[in-house]
Structure formats: C-alpha cells, structure tokens
Amino acid sequence: MSGRGPNARRLKRKAEKARIDMMVERKFNKVLAEYEANRHASETSGTNNGSQGSAAKGCSYKAFLSCHPHKYQGIKGAVGLLRRIEKLESVFSMSECSEENRVKYATGTLEGPALTWWNTHVQTLGLETANSIPWENFTRMLHEEYCPRDEIRKLEEEFWVHKMVGSEIGKYCTRFHELCKLCPAMVTPEYKKIEQFISGLPEQIQSMVTASDHTTIQPLIRLAYKLTDQAVAQGKLPKRGEHLKPQEPKRKWEPSNNRTFSPQQPTQHRPAPAKVFTATQPNTLGKGGYQGNSPKCNTCNFHHFGPCKKGKCTNCGRNGHLAKECRSNPNLNRDNTFEGCFTCGKPGHMRRDCPQNKNAGGNPARGRTFVMGSGEAKDDPNVVTGTFLLNNVYASILFDTGADRSFISTNFSKLLDMTPTPLDYKYTVELVDGKLIETQYIIKGCVLTLADHQLVIDLMPVTLGSFDVVIGMDWLSANHAEIVCNEKIVRVTLPSGEPISIQGERRGILLNIMSCMKANKYLKKGYTAILALITEQPKKERL
C-alpha cells in the first residue's frame, strides 16, 4: 500500500492537468469560432451596404495629417495647384482615405485666399453639401479658379518653345511633365507627346532620339538621358551647371601707324555717341583720379587714344599745347620781361602812346576771353563745359578761369528776348589769336539754372565760336566758385552757404542708357526731357 501511494497521487495530478488543458482548448476554440463568425458577418454587411463598408474602412483626420499634406494658399499659380493635387492624391492613397471624406480633409489644409474662396462656397451650398462634393468636381473647381484660360494659354505658348538648355535634361523633363499635366490637349494622343518632347531636345542628340522610333514616352526619356551623358563626355554639350557663353575677344589699343587690318575682319563704322551734360548734386564717390578708359599719353600727360597732337609750347616751355594756343603773354621774351603795350598788347609802343587810348578819349576797360573748340575744352584742365538752362533755354556753357568777364554769343542772345543795356564805355575783348573786338552793351539779370538753383549773371554779347556762353572770373569769384581740374567739376557756393557741384563734360565718358519704362517714370514725376537728333558729317563736308 505504501508503495502505491505516491504513484496514485502522481497519476491523479496528470489526469487533472489533462482535463484542464482540454477545457482551455475547448474554450479557446469556442471564442475563436465566435470571432470568425462576427468578422464574416461584418464583411457581409459591408458588402451589402456599400457606403457603410466604405466608411468603416476610411481613415481619421489625424491619420490623414500624419502623412503631412501640403498647405495651400492659392498663390503659386497653375504649377503650385498641380503639385498640390498630386500630393493630396498620394496622401489619400497612403492613409486609405474614403471617397466621401476627401473633400472635407483636403479643405482642412487650405489657408489664406484659398480658404476664403472655399468659405464662400460653403456659405452658398452649406457645409454638408460642400463636403459631399465628389473629388473630381472639387479639382475641377480649383482649376477654374486658379488656372484660368489666360494662364493656360501662356503655358501653352511656353510649351511650344520649351527647349533643353545645355545638358540640363533633368530640368527639361521635369518642366515637360508639368506642362503635360497642365496642357493635356497638346500631348494627346501619345504620338503628340513624343513629338513635343523630341522638338525640345538639342540638335546634338535630337536626330538619334528620333531614329529610335519608340511608341511610348518613358523609354524615349531614358534614351535621352543616356545620349545626353554621352554628348557631355564627348564635349558636344557643356557639363551640367555650366552653359557655353560666347566671349568677345579683348581689343588692345595700338597706334594708328602700327595697326593693320586683315580683309577677313572688316571694320565696322559706328556713329559717334551723343554727349549730354547735366547739373548734379555733389557726389563724393569715385574722386581722386582719372576714371575713364583712355590710356595716358607720355607726351601731354593727358588720357586719349591715337597719336598725341599736342607738343611742347615754344612760348612758355610747357607740355600739352602749342604756341598758338598758349595763354601766357605772347610779348614776354626769354627773360620773362614784357615787350609791348599794356593796353592793346602789340609791340612797338608804350601804353601812354597807344592809339586806342587816343581814339577812346581815355583808358578803355579791357578783358580777355579765349574762343576755343569743344574738343580743345575737353582736354584743357582749366575749363569746364556743359549744357545748362539760361532763361529756360538750353545753352552750351564754358566755365573759363582765363576770361576776365562773362560773355554770351550775339546769335544766342536773340533767343533770350532781353534788351541789352548800353555801357558808358567801350569794352575791349582780346581773343586767343590776339585779335581785339569791342562791345558796348551788357545783358543784366540773366537767370542761370544749376542743379535746380537759379543764379543771376550779367553777360556781354560778343562773337563766340563753339559755345553759347562763356562764364569768366567776374561771376566765378563773386560766387566763390572753384574748378576741380582732373574731375571737370565746378563747385559753387550759394548765397545761403550751401555748396553745389556741377559736373562738366569729360572725354571718354559715354552716354548712360536707361529703359523706356524708367524714362516714362521720370517723365510722370515732372523731370525735363530733351529730344535731340544728332548726325555726323563726313570729314570732307566739315568746315
């Protein structure tokens, strides 16, 4: 009995364990059967009720936002709308969004003007009706609002001229696909899309792509990628990111006697550019030296092209001008002692015996002025030229420190419509060639406009050459003016103490060019415009 006691207990425990396992397995099978029955019933109900099964399969708005759809404001045009719709359809696919929730979820990502546009439809249709709009109708509404026909027509025009630049095949294909989406009528059927794609390829690979004779677009694009890489490796196309830019050969100035011209390179005769002179406010930028493009001449120490026409003056011994252009007194001998009359400047008699004193009955007033050409004035460091308003009439003016008084051309003075005032004496004017002319009139109270400031000046009418007005030391000293020689600037102090600077003409400074839109903008603001017709005479016809 003692020997069977432990065995009996062991067998009893095994039997109890087997019974428990059987009960657990039976219970598990029962629960599993119930679960399968309920799942089958649910699927059957969803199949019979269509829309209810679709609703059970849809995602929540939180799951939709977890796929990171793009926000849309309606300000990026047709391309932005296309990318927005493509992104939304991709999010719908990933989140398994149901058909009836697509519009409701998509409108939740609208912002700014696009949200305002949708709210107007909600007020008209109602929230439930607006959210139940089919997705295809919603996208058509977006196209009608943000892709109007005018913009589609511009995209079609761009599509016709869409070309590949350099070797940028990736950018070309990306834009090509966008335009295909936005202009489907131009690429339907498939052969139109293929023809449009081939027409935009560069000529280095276009013929080989055409010869491939593919009937679908994708293998054609892959072939274009391969041929582009081969053309880049062979040097037929530039590398990506680099574009071939034609470079103009640099021209170096050479003296005319050493310059030769080949028949293969005919010279082009260009008209001389027009010069305009304007009064400007002081400018402190770029001061301190020559700013043009002309080389410096070692003979005259000025900047110009071609051989130097200036030599050493035999009168004063200085470089830069000839004896006939010298402003030093011509009656000085080598010892710098004066030989001649102080009144008329002629040798052979003294001042007390001058015939002019006898004819005038006393000592007449005398001044000096120098009549020079515009080309000489540009090279002369002591003068400044420009075009400014005199009594609201544009005049060519010479600021000359070598002139004692200020003068006006007799022909130009008629345009001012002012009556000259007679003088009590005759004023003798000495010209650069030594000739003497007399004037007995002065025009007082002329108004000279410089940098939008009006200044009064008295002018004596005489016969002048290339300029309408010569402003001398009488006006320059009265207005505390100074001339910056190397920059061709005249600085004048106004009666209020404010300094202004007048920029004159400088050789080698070309005429600035502005666009028509900018010129129209200045005209609307009230700026003055000058319309000039400039012609160049042949050398034989010049006087």
CA distance 491 to 472: 14
Q: Which residues is 493 bridged to in the sheet? A: 499
Q: What is the pLDDT of residues 421-472, one digit of tens each?
A: 988 888 887 766 667 788 888 999 899 988 888 899 999 998 877 788 988 8
CB distance 100 to 57 below 8 Å: no
- Check whether residue 139 and residue 157 sit in a common domain: no
- Check whether residue 67 and residue 165 sit in a common domain: no
CB distance 179 to 159 below 8 Å: yes
- Check whether residue 422 and residue 489 sit in a common domain: yes
CA distance 91 to 178: 19
Three-state secondary structure call for residue 483: strand
Task: Tell me the residue ranges of DSSP E strands in 451-488.
Answer: 453-462, 469-471, 482-484
The total number of structural domains that make up the chain: 3
Burial status of residue 245 (CB atoms within 10 A of its CB: 0-12, 13-18, 19 or more): exposed
β-pairing verdict for 489-493 and 499-503: antiparallel
CA distance 54 to 42: 12
- Check whether residue 100 and residue 158 sit in a common domain: no
How many percent of the chain have pLDDT more than 70? 71
Residue 393: its H or E element: strand 393-400
- Check whether residue 396 and residue 489 sit in a common domain: yes
CA distance 386 to 327: 22
- What is the length of the chain? 543
- Check whether residue 125 and residue 209 sit in a common domain: no
Sheet holding 489-493, edge to edge: 482-484, 489-493, 499-503
Phi/psi zone of residue 381: left (φ > 0), alpha (ψ -120 to 50 degrees), beta? alpha
CA-wise closest residue to 445 among 467, 417, 472? 417
- Check whether residue 406 and residue 481 sit in a common domain: yes
- Check whether residue 173 and residue 217 sit in a common domain: yes
Three-state secondary structure call for residue 96: coil
CA distance 254 to 87: 65
Q: pTM for this structure? A: 0.32
Does residue 274 lie within any of the structural domains? no
- Check whether residue 142 and residue 154 sit in a common domain: no
Query: Residue 339: is its pLDDT beyond 60?
Result: no
Does residue 343 lie within any of the structural domains? no
Query: Residue 251: is its pLDDT beyond 80?
Result: no
Of 147, 169, 194, the residue at which a domain comes to its end is: 147
Query: Residue 184: is its pLDDT beyond 60?
Result: yes
Query: Residue 522: is its pLDDT beyond 70?
Result: yes
Q: What is the pLDDT of residues 209-246, one digit of tens each?
A: 888 888 888 888 999 999 999 988 888 888 887 754 44
Of 108, 124, 147, the residue at which a domain comes to its end is: 147
Angstrom distances, CA of residue 300 to CA of 279, 370, 433? 29, 21, 22
* pLDDT given for residue 400 in this prediction: 84
Region 183-195: what's the mean pLDDT? 85
Side chain identity at residue 436, one-letter code: L
CA distance 402 to 384: 12
Residue 383: its H or E element: strand 383-390
Does residue 495 lie within any of the structural domains? yes
- Check whether residue 115 and residue 195 sit in a common domain: no
Does residue 108 lie within any of the structural domains? yes
Domain span at 445: 382-503
Of 147, 177, 195, the residue at which a domain comes to its end is: 147
